Structure 1
Amino acid sequence: MIQRVQTIYLLISLMSCFILLYIPMGTVAGHGEISYYLNGFSVSGEEDVFYSTYFLSGMLVVIMLLQAISVFDFKNRKRQVILVQISLILLLGLTVGILMYPDISEVPVQISSDEFKIDYNWWILFMILPWVLTYLAIRAIKRDEALVRSTERMR
């Protein structure tokens, strides 16, 4: 299980998704003390989130569960491919949600800013790592399945 390259890809992707829960995605322009995390907007130095985006963090938890299940589902490669493909689609949806949600939510009204703009950190580029690793895991699982099929054909 652990010796397969797709397992390594999925585990690293799982860890990077876990890290995404705790890093700030950006700050509100003009309000440097307001940070945008995956679970909501919060004022720095305070524990409370004043506008929650728990569905984004919930979506990330679902992605992490799918990847964890697919790591342990190594005997059924077809189901493993389906689970990983679903997690890749959800990752793409999560990225769109992270980038679009602040603009379509009520956050600009609550901050009472005329020109609401998020200054994204360079950490937002960390979102690319799970995409790439999940895609590589899909390719490795399919390659593994093709290898098994070719050996069965030789018998």
Structure 2
Amino acid sequence: MLQRTQSVYLLLAAANALVLIFVFHLWVTDNGTAVFAKDELPYFAAFLVSGALSLVTIFLYKNRKLQFVLGRLNIILNFFLLGFFVYLSLNLSGETIVSEKGIGMLLPIISIVFLALANKAIKKDEDLVKSVDRLR
């Protein structure tokens, strides 16, 4: 069922991972060029996998346990992506690559919030189904 609350959250997480990476830059180099996720293959692949995982999770509404596990897996992937961004922006010395951080580095945080809300709604549905099964 695509009209469920978690489907909306998962769709927002997928849109965040698949669309907003082309809108917001990750950082600006020291010579003034904006670097988007599509310019760096590992980050682009991680965003694509995150978005695809969110879209796949939407259509697994009949198997809520697998949907919940895939949501957790997607959250872990976004934490790794966020960790890479933090490492890149804090561990480099001087003005080697990153001169100015962009809002694109915060996109994994937005995805994590939407995925956590979706997992909360999936857990709520699972608890509701379990309570109805006890009544039978």
Query: TM-score, normalised on structure 1?
Result: 0.77
Q: Whose strand fraction is larger, Structure 1's or Structure 2's?
A: 1
**Which amino acid is the alignment partner of residue 37 of structure 1?**
F
Is the 8 Å Cα contact of residues 85 and 105 (structure 2) preserved in structure 1?
no
Task: After TM superposition, give the deviation of residue 150 of structure 1 in Å.
Answer: 0.2
Is the 8 Å Cα contact of residues 27 and 34 (structure 2) preserved in structure 1?
yes
Aligned length: 134
Task: After TM superposition, give the deviation of residue 140 of structure 1 in Å.
Answer: 0.6
Task: After TM superposition, give the deviation of residue 101 of structure 1 in Å.
Answer: 3.8
Match of 1:63 among 34, 50, 53: 50
Which is bigger in relative contact order (C-alpha 8 A, separation at least 6)?
A: 2
Provide the aligned C-alpha RMSD in A: 2.1
**Which amino acid is the alignment partner of residue 118 of structure 1?**
S
Partner-residue secondary structure (3-state), 1:91 = helix
Report matched runs for 1:81-96 at 5 Å: 81-96=68-83
Segments of 4+ moved more than 2 angstroms:
98-105, 114-118, 121-128
Task: After TM superposition, give the deviation of residue 103 of structure 1 in Å.
Answer: 7.0
Is the 8 Å Cα contact of residues 74 and 80 (structure 1) preserved in structure 2?
yes
Aligned-partner Cα distance in 1 for 2:95–2:107:
27
Task: After TM superposition, give the deviation of residue 128 of structure 1 in Å.
Answer: 2.2
Question: Is 1:98 matched up with 2:79?
Answer: no
Question: Is 1:145 matched up with 2:119?
Answer: no
Task: After TM superposition, give the deviation of residue 18 of structure 1 in Å.
Answer: 1.3
**Which amino acid is the alignment partner of residue 42 of structure 2?**
F
User: Where in structure 1 are there 5+ consecutive unaligned residues?
Assistant: 41-52, 109-113
Is the 8 Å Cα contact of residues 81 and 108 (structure 2) preserved in structure 1?
no
User: Where in structure 2 are there 5+ consecutive unaligned residues?
Assistant: none
Q: Deviations over 1:51-106 (max 9, x none)?
A: xx20111111111111111100000000001111101100111112233246779x
Query: TM-score, normalised on structure 2?
Result: 0.86
